[in-house]
């Protein structure tokens, strides 16, 4: 029978996380509000320094969104008209928006059937004389195969830019994602592993010249007050977001550890259930479980989600349509069947509740609802 409101397992509970550190947040926000330091300012500078140190990079530039972070990185690296950028069809559309914003052409390679991230072998086959950059996405919190992609980028003298919007804190060979490519791009949308009180983003890099150019670009390309040296943008981070993120960053590793614990428990409770495919995790340190995504048969998905809803369990779909098959990119000429692995995954994926504050009882309830449907 349908669950009551009090027994519902939400897909995400941002309020629970904020409540757990409310005193720290209000303490950090007060000087921003009293000092009216609403755009950039000391709070943003502190967060930039803290996040750079967390990642092990020299520079972090706070931006107003993850989409803008991708845009600013490509712009500052002089990717533009006539260039091609290879990326994934299985992601939120912002990855491709940024390529289009700078006038370059997005080129898609299909995904690995285990990790759902870019397949390096297919990336290499997609390279042409016009390819200038690779833009892989660390999807669902799972780091892509950056070792192979870095080798490809070095071999063909290509830029490697990481879309790390879903992988705050994930590691590969001891290094945090966002510190491995020429630049890392992050989103701090409220539902992310590290989420702001609104929109927010950042570009991270060891390249001092690149960081300095992005700092100019985000602030109307000013080099000194009222001296604009190129076409600029207004993509500055707000002081409130810097303050919130600096507080939350102190808790990120603990929250990610809680997510990993929930993922392990889901795996134990759902092992052997017929009709579902559990997420693979070939590199445990490289997964921070932004989402816990299972696959069901395509024809079962809506009935399955309705069953979960009736049992008081929320769910999501990330994502239903490959980016190159979206109407906005019809001009690229792609058709169903061009990306068979991505299309299969995206027709079958269902995201189960995943956030640090999930209780053991809630995890067990979600798993019971899944088992009940497939029984």
> Are 299 and 349 found together in one domain?
yes
Tokens of 137: 């996405």
Give the mean pLDDT of 210-214: 98
Domain end: 194, 225, 249, which one? 249
Averaged pLDDT, 99-122: 98
Phi-psi bin for 12: left (phi > 0), alpha (psi -120 to 50), beta? beta
The domain that holds 118 is classified in CATH as: 3.40.640.10
pLDDT of residue 212: 98
> Does any domain span residue 71?
yes
Distance CA 262, CA 268 (A): 10
Instruction: Look up the domain containing 202 and give its range.
Output: 16-249
Enter the tokens of residue 8: 């519902």
pLDDT at 4 over 90: no
Give me the mean pLDDT over the 203-224 stretch. 97
Lowest average pLDDT, out of 3-7, 315-319, 350-354, 366-370, goes to: 3-7
Q: 127 is written with which tokens? A: 């390279």
Q: Is the pLDDT of residue 39 over 80?
A: yes
In this structure, are 237 and 353 located in the same domain? Answer: no
Give the pLDDT of residue 6.
43
Q: Please give the angle made by the CA atoms of 314, 67 and 358, to the nearest 5 degrees.
A: 25
Distance between CA atoms of residues 63 and 94, nearest Å? 15
Average pLDDT of the chain?
96
pLDDT in tens, 169-196: 999 999 999 999 999 999 999 999 999 9
Give the Cα separation of 2 and 309 in Å (integer). 8
Q: pLDDT tens digits for 20-32?
A: 999 999 999 999 9
Residue 194 CB-half CA count within 13 A = 32
pLDDT digits (tens, 9 = 90+) for 260-303: 999 999 999 999 999 999 999 988 888 999 999 999 999 999 99
DSSP string of 180-201, one letter each residue: SSSEEEEE--TTSSS--SS--E
Domain end residue (candidates: 217, 234, 249):
249
Q: Clarify whether residues 88 and 190 are in a common domain.
A: yes
At residue 78, the pLDDT reads: 98
Look at strands 159-163 and 276-277 and give their pairing.
unpaired
| Residue at a domain's end among 209, 226, 249 | 249
The CATH number for 308's domain is 3.90.1150.10
Statement to judge: residues 48 and 74 lie in one domain:
yes
pLDDT at residue 198 tops 80: yes
Q: Give 124's Cβ-side CA count (13 Å radius).
A: 11
Distances (CA, A) of 273 to 269, 306, 372: 9, 19, 10
- Do 233 and 361 lie in one domain? The reply is no
As for how many domains the chain has, the answer is 2
Whether the per-residue pLDDT at 256 is higher than 60: the answer is yes
Same-domain status, 82 and 213: yes
Domain identity same for 145 and 264: no
144 shares a domain with 64: yes
- Check: CB of residue 59 under 8 Å from CB of residue 208: yes
Whether residues 273 and 307 fall in one domain: yes
Whether pLDDT at 209 is above 50: yes
Question: Mind giving me the DSSP string for 241-278?
Answer: HHHHHHHHHTTHHHHHHHHHHHHHHHHHHHTT-TTEEP
Determine, yes or no, domain membership for 5: no
Q: In terms of domains, do 200 and 333 share one?
A: no
At 7, the pLDDT band (50, 70, 90 cuts) reads low
Element (H, E) at 343: helix 340-348
**pLDDT digits over 113-147, tens only?**
999 999 999 999 999 999 999 999 999 999 999 99
* CB neighbours of residue 271 within 10 Å: 8
Residues 223 and 269 placed together within one structural domain of the fold? no
Tokens, residue 273: 């259930």
Whether residues 258 and 341 fall in one domain: yes
Q: Is the pLDDT of residue 2 over 70?
A: no
HEC per residue, 35-68: CCCCECCHHHHHHHHHHHHHHCCCEEEEECCHHH
Q: How confident is the model at residue 3 (pLDDT cuts 50, 70, 90)?
A: very low
375 — pLDDT class (breaks 50, 70, 90): confident
């Amino acid at each position: 029978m349908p669950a009551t409101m009090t027994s519902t397992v939400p897909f995400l509970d941002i309020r629970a996380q904020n409540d757990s550190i409310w005193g720290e947040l209000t303490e950090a926000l007060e000087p921003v509000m009293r000092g009216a330091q609403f755009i950039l300012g000391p709070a943003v500078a502190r967060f930039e320094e803290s996040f750079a140190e967390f990642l092990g990079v020299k520079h972090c530039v706070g931006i107003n969104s993850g989409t803008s972070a991708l845009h600013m990185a490509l712009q500052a690296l002089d990717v533009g008209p006539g260039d091609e950028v290879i990326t994934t069809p299985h992601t939120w559309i912002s990855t491709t928006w940024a390529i289009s914003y700078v006038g370059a052409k997005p080129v898609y390679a299909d995904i690995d059937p285990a990790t759902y991230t870019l397949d390096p072998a297919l990336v290499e086959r997609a390279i042409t004389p016009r390819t200038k950059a690779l833009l892989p996405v660390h999807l669902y919190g799972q780091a892509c195969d950056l070792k192979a992609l870095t080798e490809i980028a070095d071999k063909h003298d290509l830029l490697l830019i990481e879309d790390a919007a879903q992988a705050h804190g994930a590691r590969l060979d001891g290094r945090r994602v966002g510190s491995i490519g020429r630049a890392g791009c992050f989103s701090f949308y409220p539902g992310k592993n590290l989420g702001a009180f609104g929109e927010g983003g950042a570009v991270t890099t060891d390249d001092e010249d690149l960081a300095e150019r992005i700092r100019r670009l985000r602030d109307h390309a000013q080099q000194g007050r009222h001296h604009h040296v190129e076409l600029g943008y207004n993509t500055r981070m707000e002081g409130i977001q810097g303050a919130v993120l600096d507080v939350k960053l102190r808790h990120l590793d603990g929250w990610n550890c809680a997510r990993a614990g929930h993922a392990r428990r889901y795996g134990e409770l759902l092992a052997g259930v017929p009709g579902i495919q559990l997420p693979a995790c070939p590199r445990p340190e490289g997964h921070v479980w932004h989402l816990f995504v299972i696959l069901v048969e395509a024809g079962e998905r809506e009935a399955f989600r309705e069953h979960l809803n009736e049992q008081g369990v929320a769910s999501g779909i990330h994502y239903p349509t490959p980016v190159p098959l979206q109407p906005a990119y019809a001009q690229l000429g792609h058709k169903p069947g061009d990306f068979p692995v991505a299309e299969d995954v995206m027709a079958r994926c269902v995201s189960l509740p995943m956030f640090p504050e999930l209780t053991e009882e809630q995890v067990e309830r979600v798993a019971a609802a899944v088992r009940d449907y497939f029984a």
